[in-house]
Amino acid sequence: MSGNGINLSDLKELFVKYYGESDHEIRIFTAPGRVNLIGEHIDYCGGSVFPAALTLSCTAAVRLNGTDWIRLGADDLEDVYTFSLRDPQAGKRLKWGNYQAGVINALLEEGYLIRGMDFLFTGNIPFGSGLSSSAAIELTTAVAAATLSENYEEKGLDLIRMAQLGQLAEHTFCGVNCGIMDQFASAMGKRDHAILLDCASLNYKYVPLALGDYTLVLANTCKKHALGASEYNKRREEVAEGLRRLNAALGENRANLCDFSEAEYAAAEARLGPDKVKDRVKHVIFENERVKRAVSALENGNLKAFGTILCEAHASIRDLYEVTGPELDTMFEIASHTDGCIGARMTGAGFGGCTVNIVRKESAEAFIRDVGRAYTQRTGIVPEFYLCTAGDGARELF
């Protein structure tokens, strides 16, 4: 999976080269990456987030193999990685494929009678871009393996549950204590819509991504983030401590930081300690409120207000949550001061990856040229840009 992808007819031909001929049918499954428009690092705090699935995706050719082995390959890998369904935990030790193995293990624990099958993956989601290639791999695997399971007619395919199993796989097999947003967006995406998702209840609604004369431009810093090696899990620990302190300060016993209001934060701020925990708490609570304001602005057609709120969100994630880094901040500063751009911010877990930018359609080409040139001059890195639209969620193609 080089991030470039190959067309489906070539994928089937390559599949046969990897695994040989068979009487079993080759079937094609896909799941998208996602961009989070606003609501960063609050999905694991019970907050509301506003992602959209992308037309950038992970795709897999899949075929039953008549054994009790799972075989995993990709268009840019020479080797095939295998594990037995009799010992799915062995998938944790794979050099490549532990995301898929984690999903298979979760499906088995869910009661799916998974059969031996072969996978060949391709995709065009850039790795390390913060656009959730991992969630796309997880959901492609989940939908394929569940659909081809022995008891599919009995178990069915609950896409929200598939998202939860993808999240569980990332926790148990990959060591990343992620929230639900990435997997939910990949599973439940809808063309030309974003999803307002309450991560505490999983209540959601689709909101038309009506940008009028504007479009989404994703700017990849090409500073790859390494989520498992980053401070992501440290932030989880900090907000857990922040919740404990805030509950103690206010005499409450609430389950999530996003259950608190900005006014309640202000009342307790002086009692939250002198360290960084207070800043983390402030970002989470105020970001949750920004999501509500941003969605309201979009629904009312006030795109300039929507863009302004995105810029506010970047400042918060930079100054209070501290997960941006010099490359993302440089890209944001250049983009947000370039003609035609009315809003910008980092998207994803941070420490590299992409900014999402709201750019006037007629200015998009010049925006890409000018921002790219200025970014390279300041960092020495050549960035990548993607003109994106919102796409559908995980599914079988044919």
The answer to whether residue 276 scores a pLDDT higher than 80 is yes
Question: Which residue has tokens 């990332």?
Answer: 170
AA letter at 150: E
C-alpha–C-alpha distance, residues 347 and 203, integer Å: 22
H/E stretch holding 202: none
43, 118, 182, 259: the catalytic one is: 182
The yes-or-no answer on residue 182 being catalytic is yes
The answer to whether residue 384 scores a pLDDT higher than 50 is yes
Each domain of the chain, given as residue ranges in start order, spans 8-208
398 pLDDT band (50/70/90 cuts)? confident
Share of the chain above pLDDT 70, in %: 97
240 pLDDT band (50/70/90 cuts)? very high
C-alpha–C-alpha distance, residues 83 and 60, integer Å: 18
Please tell me whether residue 325 adopts helix, strand or coil conformation: coil
Give the chain's length. 398
- CB count within 10 Å of CB 167 equals 25
Q: At what angle do helices 181-188 and 133-147 cross, to 10 degrees?
A: 60
Distance (Å) of CA 61 to CA 24, 288, 398: 12, 39, 10
163 pLDDT band (50/70/90 cuts)? very high
When the pLDDT of each residue in the chain is averaged and rounded to a whole number, the result is: 95
C-alpha–C-alpha distance, residues 121 and 75, integer Å: 6
Encode pLDDT of 104-122 as tens digits: 999 999 999 999 999 999 9
The answer to whether residue 239 scores a pLDDT higher than 80 is yes
C-alpha–C-alpha distance, residues 79 and 12, integer Å: 17
Statement: 8-208 belongs to CATH 3.40.50.970: no
Angle formed at CA 114 by CA 111 and CA 116, multiple of 5 degrees: 165
pLDDT at 162: 99
226 pLDDT band (50/70/90 cuts)? low
Q: What is the mean pLDDT of residues 126-155?
A: 96
Burial of 255: CB neighbours in 10 Å, binned 0-12, 13-18, 19+:
exposed
pLDDT at 2: 47
AA letter at 244: R
Angle formed at CA 344 by CA 342 and CA 346, multiple of 5 degrees: 175
Question: Which residue has tokens 């699935």?
Answer: 53
Q: Where is pLDDT greater, at 388 or 155?
A: 155
Tokens of 151: 């008891």
The answer to whether residue 147 scores a pLDDT higher than 80 is yes
DSSP sequence for 121-146: EEE-SPTTSSS-HHHHHHHHHHHHHH
C-alpha–C-alpha distance, residues 43 and 168, integer Å: 15
C-alpha–C-alpha distance, residues 287 and 300, integer Å: 20
Pairing of strands 117-123, 69-74: parallel
The answer to whether residue 201 scores a pLDDT higher than 90 is yes
Q: What is the mean pLDDT of residues 87-105?
A: 94
Tokens of 273: 């300690």
pLDDT at 229: 47
AA letter at 42: I
- Please give the torsion angle defined by the CA atoms of residues 206, 190, 304 and 314, in that order, rounded to the nearest 10 degrees: 90
228 pLDDT band (50/70/90 cuts)? very low
Tell me the β-bridge partners of 71. Answer: 82, 118
Encode pLDDT of 337-381 as tens digits: 999 999 999 999 898 899 999 999 999 999 999 999 999 999 999
Burial of 67: CB neighbours in 10 Å, binned 0-12, 13-18, 19+:
middle
Among 359, 294, 338, which residue's Cα sits nearest to residue 40?
A: 294
DSSP sequence for 47-82: -EE-EEEEEEEEEEEEEE-SSSEEEEEETT-SS-EE
Q: Please measure the distance between the N-terminal and C-terminal CA atoms of the chain and give it in whole angstroms.
A: 20
